[in-house]
């Protein structure tokens, strides 16, 4: 049995996700999505009314970056799932929040498969300011314009736009706007 790498797990995950959502035109699957302006990069994001992040850790990976990644992902994703191999299972269970799901890659009857070990729950601590950072500047400005809140902000830096959004719009409205904009955005790696 060969040692699997990140790309092997990614291919398995993408195949499973495409099977799950193949008949759902309202779902967009994004490969390597930047979070907090690239501070972290989630391996796969599924956007379909909620933001669901999938972080991959193959047996070739170590878990050194996981704590800082968790901190960033916990701020923006409604759901999180870590996709791992058995060598990481014990440590991952000790480190990740209880609301994260765990999917395990196993070898069964000559084939690799992914099975759910722990069902994920909803993140109740999404940070509106961090979430708004998923919007590009022009998208953030459009969110404000839709609500007539753009006055005096047209030439301001994006951080001021994010602050205005967070001070003027509810979290659920921000989540809806981010979902909508991420789904229609062109020019990034969608799969």
Residues 54/44, Cβ–Cβ less than 8 Å: yes
Tens digits of residue pLDDT in 29-56: 999 999 988 888 999 999 998 999 999 9
Q: What is the pLDDT of residue 188?
A: 57
**pTM of this structure:** 0.92
101, containing H or E segment: strand 101-108
pLDDT exceeds cutoff 60 at 190: no
**What mean pLDDT is reported for the chain?**
91
Q: How far apart are CA 63 and CA 168, in angstroms?
A: 38
pLDDT exceeds cutoff 70 at 2: no
Alpha carbon separation from 16 to 2, 91, 92 (Å, rounded): 21, 25, 22
pLDDT exceeds cutoff 70 at 12: yes
Three-point CA angle 178, 179, 181, nearest 5°: 65
| Contacts for 44 with CB less than 8 Å, ≥ 6 apart | 10, 13, 14, 17, 29, 30, 31, 32, 33, 53, 54, 56, 191
Share of the chain above pLDDT 70, in %: 96
At 110, the pLDDT band (50, 70, 90 cuts) reads confident
Residue 156: count other Cβ atoms within 10 Å of its Cβ. 14
Q: Left, alpha or beta for 9 (phi > 0: left; psi -120 to 50: alpha)?
A: alpha
Q: What is the pLDDT of residue 186?
A: 76
Tens digits of residue pLDDT in 81-105: 999 999 999 999 999 999 999 999 9
139 against 185, higher pLDDT: 139
Alpha carbon separation from 55 to 40, 145, 191 (Å, rounded): 11, 34, 16
């Amino acid at each position: 049995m060969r040692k699997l790498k990140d790309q092997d797990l990614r291919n398995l995950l993408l195949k499973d996700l495409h099977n799950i959502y193949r008949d759902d035109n309202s779902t967009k699957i994004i490969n390597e999505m930047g979070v907090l302006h690239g501070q972290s990069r989630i391996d796969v994001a599924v956007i379909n009314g909620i933001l669901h992040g999938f972080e991959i850790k193959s047996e070739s990976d170590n878990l050194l970056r996981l704590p800082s990644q968790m901190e960033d992902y916990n701020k923006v994703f409604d759901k999180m799932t870590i996709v791992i191999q058995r060598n990481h299972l014990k440590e991952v269970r000790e480190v990740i929040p209880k609301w994260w799901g765990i999917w395990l890659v196993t070898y069964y009857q000559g084939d690799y498969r992914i099975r759910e070990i722990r069902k994920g729950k909803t993140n109740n601590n999404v940070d509106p300011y961090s979430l708004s950072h998923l919007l590009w500047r022009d998208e953030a400005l459009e969110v404000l314009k839709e609500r007539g809140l753009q006055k005096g902000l047209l030439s301001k830096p994006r951080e001021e736009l994010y602050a205005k959004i967070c001070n003027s719009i509810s979290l659920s409205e921000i989540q809806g706007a981010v979902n909508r904009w991420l789904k229609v955005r062109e020019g990034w790696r969608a799969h």
